[in-house]
Chains A and B, each alone.
Chain A
């Protein structure tokens, strides 16, 4: 179960504002986290607490394929991102690095900055503890749960290689 406070953003939050290219000369998650969301919300890093949740509108994560974006969000302490829609490369990258993300326009509409949410990833239920309202996101399909259960794509590939050689 995930529980945390909401940081809310609008549409088309792009990967350049999530982690600007001037910091792409490192791959260190902690260093990337120190600059997460810097160009859209300079106070984000100061305000974020472990377990917090990002809620945004349309097309979150549009732009470049830099995996540094979900890595920095995860390393900053964010436990889940909820949006109306995600850009597709960001969507793949998030799951591949083990950052849970959910598409749920109803929850986005019913959530304000600072609200506290509780999320059950197995059922896809999002409960807004501040307003008392519950929302239902589509749970992950079985193949994706398997990938997540194995700890992401790397372990999934590792298992595939081991099966092939045994």
Chain B
């Protein structure tokens, strides 16, 4: 009986030929990570374990990205705990302000995760690296603590769901729209505990940025991991970048899936998720009545250079609506610099937008764009729960960079097509 890519990667990391869904395994970890919210608890628990040091100083990343640059004294204290731990244990990949970025964009770009890896991170969006053909999943701080000590962790092998996206992708429809549409279709627990394998013509057509976006949001359908088998585009991205040897796995043609979901992308419009769950999706044409106060372009979901290019293309020569605050956050320092070099930053500022240093900030209502009572934001982020971006009576509408940029100009939710003429 055939195996899926997820099963093959997990089997290889627990010394088995084959693993079955439901089986409990103890797996070797290629890389682990934590951020300024989760790592301080992990460090406290790590000290309790009594390990002398981490399992491998080159396989642990500590990324202060959530409340940084430090938004208040308490946050500064948390980052200090990380910094001191990193120094004490000589951790290679502690990313200081000025070098840091939003973790799930930073790590693949730095080549720290690669195809065939097993990665856990104390952040739910760790599933992002599935776009490289890796098994990666979010855990909590205690799991991270033990993983830092042991270099291994236990998993229940997930059941497999295959999603097949067929048809030609229409203009202005991107990876964000495909994943929002999928979450709308199956619900926020539609893939609970399961692996989501994204396949088909439309996935082959997607660039790496779009693939990262899709795998990033597997968790928003309850998925344990999202994964896309490597192809030429993956190899092109990985080449000369990935710091460790990697291995490419593909699903067998006779692999067993709990469910196969086929999605025709050719008729899709850009998608918006209405408050207060990512599953509350509507096509943009049914959302144009919603006025907005803010537009956020950034986050681990959509803060890549490709995302900024699309936004800049729409904003070029236009002005942000007088009632809207536009906040653009390149996900890493490298992207920040690239955005300047390509003239994108100038376009954002000329349009009347604010451009920030990398941070998760507004995505979780931390800082750099918190909403007041009754305010609405369109955002390229990943969650629109009650109070996610600020006041419990504020609202977040999830969308692609193209829709966020167009909406910033229109003062309401809208498609870039409305600006075409």
Contacts and interface: CB of A to CB of B under 8 A. Distances in A.
A92 interface: yes
Contacts of A27: 40-41, 44, 78
Contacts of B386: 14, 16-17, 39-40
Nearest to A24: B37
Contacts, number: 138
A19 B36 CA distance: 16
**Interface residues on chain A, size class:** 35 or more
A161 B67 contact: no
Nearest to B76: A25
Given A97-B142, A161-B51, A63 B385 contact: yes
Given A59-B189, A67-B142, A154 B45 contact: yes
B146 A62 contact: no
A160 B385 contact: no
Contact of B387 (A20, A93, A156): A20
A21 interface: yes
A156 to B, nearest CB: 7
A128 interface: no
A87 B150 contact: no
Interface in B106-145: 121-124, 126, 138-143, 145
A154 B42 CA distance: 10
A58 interface: yes
A155 B330 CA distance: 41
Contacts of B219: 89
A39 B140 CA distance: 22
A14 B140 contact: no
Interface residues of B, number: 51
Nearest to B78: A25
A138 interface: no
Contacts of A161: 49-51, 149-150
A157 B145 CA distance: 9
> Which of B49, B142, B150, B224 has the most chain A CB atoms inside 10 A of its CB?
B142
Given A158-B49, A158-B50, A89 B387 contact: no
A20 B143 CA distance: 21
A4 interface: no
A65 interface: yes
A8 interface: no
> Which of A14, A16, A96 has the most chain B CB atoms inside 10 A of its CB?
A16
Given A65-B38, A158-B49, A96 B142 contact: yes
B122 A65 contact: yes
A160 B150 contact: yes
A85 to B, nearest CB: 6
A62 B222 CA distance: 7
A54 B360 CA distance: 31
22 contacts: A12-B188, A16-B383, A16-B387, A21-B365, A21-B388, A24-B37, A39-B386, A39-B387, A62-B189, A64-B123, A64-B364, A65-B126, A71-B41, A87-B189, A88-B224, A92-B140, A143-B154, A153-B142, A153-B143, A154-B48, A154-B146, A161-B150
Given A59-B222, A92-B139, 11 more contacts: A12-B188, A16-B385, A24-B37, A25-B67, A27-B44, A62-B222, A93-B141, A93-B142, A143-B154, A157-B146, A161-B50
